Amino acid sequence: MYAQTGKRIINEAFTIFIACASLCICTAALRFVVIPGLNDMNGKKVRIEYFNRYIKAGEGNRKLQHEMDGKNALLRDKLFKLAGSTNVASISEMLELLINKAGAADIRFVKMQPQTQPVQGSQPAYPVILEMNTTYHSLGRFVASLETLPHIVKIRRLGIETLSEGRVQVRILVDCYVPEKEQS
């Protein structure tokens, strides 16, 4: 009786091995693929329910907008602190900032001419033509100070004409970016 059972197990050993291997593979797939996918899906479902509650509430959209505006204001303030400037909310404040940067570089503008048409893009840019007579050294300090503010001032064109005794006549076209929400 035991001999027949032993022979039967030996004859069906390959089939039993395949069945056990299949069971192990299915268990591993369930453990490492299916269960983490379900957990991830449940996490996303909770997050979607969180936002749906906000949206369904009467004040939901306004609350989200208020939260986003607050975070944007904090980020903008951090950005201006990193650049060492003040918060620029209008084109007139931007022009004052340019005058202060020029004064720090020992430059006096001959002409400062804001253009009438803003450059359209993801954020409107207000072009300003700056004309000045200065030295190369002062011009370098002024351009370097503008380059520390890439989020609010971008130099688009720079024209230099040599005068006498190391002086130059300079025309610079800069784009000034003012936060769109705060423009007047």
What's the rounded Cα separation, in Å, for the pair 126 and 95? Answer: 10
What's the rounded Cα separation, in Å, for the pair 171 and 115? Answer: 14
Q: Do residues 98 and 83 share a domain?
A: no
Q: Do residues 171 and 102 share a domain?
A: yes
Q: Do residues 171 and 127 share a domain?
A: yes
Q: Do residues 118 and 175 share a domain?
A: yes
**Could you read off the pLDDT of 101-160 as tens digits, one per residue?**
888 888 989 998 888 777 766 667 888 999 999 999 999 999 988 888 767 788 889 999
Please state, in angstroms and as integers, the Cα–Cα distance from residue 60 to each residue in 21, 52, 181, following that order.
Answer: 53, 9, 21
Q: Do residues 63 and 98 share a domain?
A: no
Query: Residue 161 — very low, low, confident or very high, per pLDDT cuts 50/70/90?
Result: very high
**Could you read off the pLDDT of 55-80 as tens digits, one per residue?**
776 666 677 778 888 888 888 777 66
Question: Which of 165, 111, 158, 173 is CA-nearest to residue 135?
Answer: 165
What's the rounded Cα separation, in Å, for the pair 140 and 149? Answer: 15
Domain limits for position 73: 58-87
Q: Do residues 110 and 162 share a domain?
A: yes
pLDDT value for 172: 93
Q: Do residues 177 and 92 share a domain?
A: yes
CATH number of the structural domain spanning residue 99? 3.30.70.60
Distance of CA 86 to the CA centre of its chain: 20
Q: How many domains does the chain have?
A: 3
Q: Do residues 150 and 173 share a domain?
A: yes
